[in-house]
């Protein structure tokens, strides 16, 4: 198998040698998790701001309109 790059530190490593795939180590795995939990990563929202506001509103607010 060919070497791969760690998505956190960009170090090349052999995939069969890492118990933390796709990361090179447990440390890089923990760094990635911390970034997700700290909201440094985000999944883009394809909705328009108006659509997002309407969907995020609680049902009680819609009845009052």
Give the model's pLDDT for residue 64: 54
Residue 25 within any structural domain of the chain: yes
pLDDT tens digits, one per residue of 12-60: 999 999 999 999 999 999 999 999 999 998 888 787 888 777 777 776 7
| Other CB atoms within 10 Å distance of the CB of residue 11 | 13
Residue 64 within any structural domain of the chain: no
Residue 65 within any structural domain of the chain: no
CATH at 10: 3.30.50.10
DSSP summary character for residue 9: T
Note down the domain range covering 42.
4-59
* Residue 12 and residue 5 in contact, taking contact as beta carbons nearer than 8 Å: yes
3-state class (DSSP) for residue 15? helix
**Number of domains observed in the structure of the chain:** 1
């Amino acid at each position: 198998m060919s070497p791969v790059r760690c998505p956190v530190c960009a170090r090349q490593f052999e995939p069969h040698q890492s118990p933390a795939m796709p990361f090179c180590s447990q440390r890089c795995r923990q760094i990635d998790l911390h970034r997700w939990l700290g909201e440094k990563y985000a999944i883009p929202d394809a909705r328009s701001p108006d659509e997002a506001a309407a969907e995020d509103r609680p049902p009680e607010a819609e009845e009052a309109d």
